[in-house]
Amino acid sequence: MKYSIVYQDREEVAELHTEIEAETARDALDQVDCQGVDASWQYQEDANGSASYVDPECPDRCYRAVPQAYECAYCGAEVPIEDAAALPAADDATEWDRLSLHHYDQCEWIKTRGSQATV
């Protein structure tokens, strides 16, 4: 899984790293040098697969690892995170062709168009 590392200070957001290869968001954070982070910073996980270290003195300041890709549950290919929620209509061939580029040839999810079609 690839992650990007983002530093946020209130309204200001800066992308520090991209394409950090790690098993989990926490691993990704631990791979980079998060300046000023010590044991007092609170680690938290978010529902969307990202995770952060939050400054105990300023809850609006954090380092966050955000997934750039997710692993297809069917074929195991790494798929861009923008496509994570994609489920085009079964007859939308153009869109399924586009999605299939990121999956392996025999992917069940692509073949069945997200279980909408039988093969």
Shortest distance, position 102 Cβ to Zn ion, whole Å: 8
Q: Does 54 bind Zn ion (CB under 5 A)?
A: no
| 8, β-bridge pairs | 13, 62
- 34, 74, 78, 112: residue in contact with Zn ion (rule CB under 5 A): 74
Q: Is 93 helix (H, G, I), strand (E, B) or coil?
A: helix
What three-state secondary structure class fits 2? strand
Q: Does residue 69 belong to the site contacting Zn ion (CB under 5 A)? A: no
Which of 75, 78, 83, 87 touches Zn ion (CB under 5 A)? 75
- Residue that is written with structure tokens 């957001």 in the block: 13
Give the C-alpha distances (Å, rounded to integers) separating 93 from 10, 30, 34, 75, 87.
Answer: 43, 41, 44, 20, 12
111 binds Zn ion (CB under 5 A): no
Question: What is the token pair recorded at 60?
Answer: 């609006």
- Among 35-43, 51-59, 86-94, 97-105, the segment contacting Zn ion (CB under 5 A): 97-105
Q: Indicate whether 107 belongs to the interface with Zn ion (CB under 5 A).
A: yes
Q: Which residues bind Zn ion (CB under 5 A)?
A: 72, 74-75, 103, 107, 109
